[in-house]
Amino acid sequence: MRVKNYFTFVQARKAMEQWSWPQDRNPGALHANVLVGQEGLRPTQGGTLHYSASQTLYFAEQSVAIFSQFITDKEDPAWLAWQAHVAYNRTLMRTDFTVQLVWELDKQICDATALFNIVPTYTGLNKPKQAFAQHYPMDILNCGSPRNYWCMRFESKNQVCLPLHKLSAKLLLLLPNYQPTPPTIHQTISISAKLSASLLKLSAKLLLCTH
């Protein structure tokens, strides 16, 4: 928006509001921080989408279709690089892979990297995650679909722990003999997981009994 001026922040928000998002996949409105930049037209640390990992994924999935109407230069290297990035992320979302599809994914990642590297304003912006992406094809051959082992579910568990950590910090200030609760937090999570597993087993047994 700031570099290419294909569309304004207001246009972007309106387009997203009017878009027909798949069920439960609307990431919400764009945050104004996406406009924050610094000298040299580079993003600042705070110039982010302010979405969770899953919301960012939902945004990326639909972004090409949403913003294509505004892109007057379809051969713009930055636009081509973004489309390539979205393309290989779509492939990564699959639940099953053939060897042929893994080969195709490898090519998609290489193409996206090459396109990113020729965008003039992206010079010096490569991140470790772009190197990690090169390992996806081999990871899939060794471990299967990334959906089975990616970190989003683990990160979401932090949202369970965080309120307990904050409560612990407050109690520590109020009660001199209070002990920090990280062990208790993990014990609580463990008990909750065991209880869920027990209820699942009980449900399965009841279901067998009714049949």
Q: Are residues 44 and 108 in the same domain?
A: no
Residues 6+ apart with CB under 8 A from 15: 7, 66, 67, 69, 70
Residues 6+ apart with CB under 8 A from 140: 97, 102, 105, 146
Range of the domain at 45: 1-69
When the pLDDT of each residue in the chain is averaged and rounded to a whole number, the result is 82
In a domain, 131, yes or no: yes
In a domain, 156, yes or no: no
Banded pLDDT at 70 (limits 50, 70, 90): very high
Number of domains in the chain: 3
Burial 32-52 (b: 16+ CB within 10 A, else e): eebeeeeeeeebeeebeebbe
DSSP letters spanning 97-142: --HHHHHHHHHHHHHHHHHHHT-GGGTT---HHHHHHTTHHHHHHH
Q: From CA 92, how far away is CA 108, in angstroms rounded?
A: 11
Banded pLDDT at 133 (limits 50, 70, 90): very high
pTM value > 0.85: no
Q: 43 forms bridges with which residues in the sheet?
A: 37
Q: Are residues 48 and 84 in the same domain?
A: no
Q: Are residues 20 and 77 in the same domain?
A: no
* Domain boundary pick from 43, 69, 95: 69
Q: From CA 72, how far away is CA 62, in angstroms rounded?
A: 18
* Domain boundary pick from 69, 89, 110: 69
Residue 189 burial (10 A CB sphere; 0-12, 13-18, 19+) = middle
Q: Are residues 29 and 41 in the same domain?
A: yes
* pLDDT score of 99 more than 90: yes
